[in-house]
């Protein structure tokens, strides 16, 4: 196993002699953070996928959300689904839903632009994009190519620590591969900002927020402890 080195001292914030945070300043998701899944062109949920949290599509309509058997609420502002523990929003629903979604989509774009534009990286092109088996400590990572995760990877750090993984290509996790969090690290502080397609293989476990320029796919049996925020579509296959 190859371990990454500690982040640059410039990323550490301290209070007295107590380390409060390691890693880059957090990415502000704005109102996009109110959604477990947010997409612009559609969400596919093959039964029996399970979603915890609100989901939304815009500018696409509710017809672009497939596999969830939506039931429109009497208010007309949202729908419900037996597969979603939360509410489902779409661009044609009653006010204020369309305006709320527009703001959330704009916030998603702003977060993506912020995250992909951060410099300089603490870890440039780590492992030449092959990161299975590595221990990823807090910091800003950048790859100028595709990234593959062919074996389990560990994200190690405290509850206040942050990670930004910039991938200027596709991000692919192999079948049955797990991301393990240690030391108190939490998914909301882990951001994967990806210009290409993101694919999590069958029965894999993904950790962290995905800001995707294109599509995000979780294959059959995959689990994501994260938010899936895509500028195109999100596809969830059956659990």
Say yes or no to pLDDT of 11 above 80.
no
* pLDDT at residue 20, rounded to an integer: 57
Element (H, E) at 97: helix 97-116
Residue 229 counted as domain residue? yes
Strand-pairing partners, residue 149, are 173
Q: Name the nearest CA neighbour of 208 among 167, 151, 176.
A: 167
Number of domains the chain is built from: 1
Q: Decide if pLDDT at 190 tops 50.
A: yes
Is position 12 within any domain?
no
Sign of CA dihedral 90, 77, 188, 120: positive
Quote the pLDDT of residue 239.
Answer: 60
Within a domain: 132: yes
Q: Assess if residue 17 is contained within a domain.
A: no
Q: Does residue 101 lie within any of the structural domains? A: yes
Structure tokens at 49: 């996928």
Instruction: Give the number of residues written for the chain.
Output: 239
**Domain interval for residue 130:** 27-236
22, part of any domain? no
Report CA-CA distances (Å) from 156 to 122, 185, 190, 232: 15, 6, 11, 31
pLDDT tens, position by position, 26-52: 999 999 999 999 999 999 998 889 999
Beta strand 18-21 with 37-39 is unpaired
Is position 119 within any domain? yes
CA–chain centroid gap for 212, Å, is 8
Report if residue 4 sits inside a domain. Answer: no
Burial class (CB in 10 A: 0-12, 13-18, 19+), 214: middle
DSSP code of residue 107: H
């Amino acid at each position: 196993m190859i371990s990454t080195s500690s982040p640059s001292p410039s990323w550490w914030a301290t209070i007295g002699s107590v380390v409060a945070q390691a890693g880059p300043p957090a990415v502000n998701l704005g109102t996009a953070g109110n959604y477990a899944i947010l997409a612009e062109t559609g969400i596919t949920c093959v039964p029996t996928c399970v979603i915890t949290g609100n989901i939304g599509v815009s500018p696409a309509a509710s017809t672009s959300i497939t596999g969830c058997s939506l039931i429109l609420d009497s208010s007309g502002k949202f729908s419900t689904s037996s597969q979603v523990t939360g509410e489902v929003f779409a661009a044609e629903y009653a006010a204020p839903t369309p305006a709320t979604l527009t703001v959330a989509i704009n916030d998603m774009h702003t977060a993506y632009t912020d995250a992909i534009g951060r410099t300089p990286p603490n870890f440039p092109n780590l492992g030449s994009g092959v990161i299975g088996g590595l221990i990823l400590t807090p910091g800003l990572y950048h790859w100028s190519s595709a990234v593959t995760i062919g074996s389990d990877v560990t994200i190690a750090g405290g509850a206040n620590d942050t990670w930004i993984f910039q991938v200027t290509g596709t991000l692919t996790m192999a079948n049955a591969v797990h991301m393990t969090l240690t030391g108190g690290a939490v998914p909301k502080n882990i951001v994967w900002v990806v210009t290409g397609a993101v694919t999590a293989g069958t029965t894999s476990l993904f950790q962290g927020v995905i800001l995707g320029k294109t599509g995000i796919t979780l294959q059959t049996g995959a689990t994501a402890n994260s938010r899936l925020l895509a500028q195109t579509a999100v596809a969830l296959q059956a659990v």
